[in-house]
Amino acid sequence: MSREIADHLRYYAELGVTGVSRSAQWRTRPGEASASDSIPSGRRPDAGDTDAAKSLLAIRTEIGPDCRRCKLHGLGRRQVVFGVGHPAARLMFVGEAPGEGEDRQGEPFVGRAGQLLTKIIEAIGLHREQVYIANVIKCRPPGNRNPEPDEVASCEPFLFRQIETIGPRVIVPLGKFAAQCLLKTAEPITRLRGRVYEYRGASLIPTFHPAYLLRNPSAKRDVWEDMKKVRAILQGDA
């Protein structure tokens, strides 16, 4: 038990958290009335959740397992990486594009950056299965190069349909690429983060990409500030 607590505190410290609060407000998960009536999605499942799951499946089917809408299909990608998580999640993360591990496993954010993302999600009291995680483009660009404008143009409509179907309360674009794509701006991430935007019925809170955090651990502090805003909105405090 003491080892578990030590591990927990270590990764909070890793995320740049410098203190804890004894306030009861922070002891429930966003969307939950109390720990005793907690539910896996952070809200009560309803018929809409099944509809959302069906609509997501319809989008995935429309893309198809062998999508050839852009040139990436011929540039070594193994599979289309659609997205993962709760079909009616209140919190959605959007990354850039699958990397090598994601391309192999068919799931976004499964590598080192993904493990850090999981810790970030857990640091605000949620589980990875309660949120939805997708990328702007669904196939791995060769050598992890940046997605090109024609690839984004063919793929982003599917992301927009995922967002519309899931209907999240909060969207967190991870890194410059996703933030610029969603907000249709060329402003740098350092200017975009730190603010809350209204976007397609959700609050959009850009933050740094977890891969950037692996290279620049001091930026974890800023991400923690962003995630506190996310948590406050999900708890109805903002």
Contact with ligand URA (CB under 6 A) among 113, 121, 223, 230: 113
Q: What are the residue ranges of helices labelled H in 108-194?
A: 112-123, 149-166, 175-183, 189-192
DSSP assignment of 44-87, as one string? ---HHHHHHHHHHHHHHHHH-TT--SSGGGGTT--S----EE-T
Distance CA 10, CA 19 (A): 12
Contact with ligand URA (CB under 6 A) among 30, 31, 42, 99: 99
Question: Among 31-39, 95-103, 124-132, 179-187, which window interacts with ligand URA (CB under 6 A)?
Answer: 95-103
Q: Which one, of 78, 83, 93, lies nearest residue 57 by Cα?
A: 83
| Cβ nearer to ligand URA, comparing 29 with 220 | 220
Q: Is 206 in the site for ligand URA (CB under 6 A)?
A: no
Residue type, 103: D
Furthest C-alpha separation in the chain: 54
Contact with ligand URA (CB under 6 A) among 83, 87, 95, 141: 95
> What would the x/- binding string for ligand URA be over residues 119 to 148, using CB under 6 A?
----------------x-------------
| Cβ nearer to ligand URA, comparing 43 with 138 | 138
Which residue ranges make up the site for ligand URA (CB under 6 A)?
95-99, 102, 108-109, 113-114, 135, 211
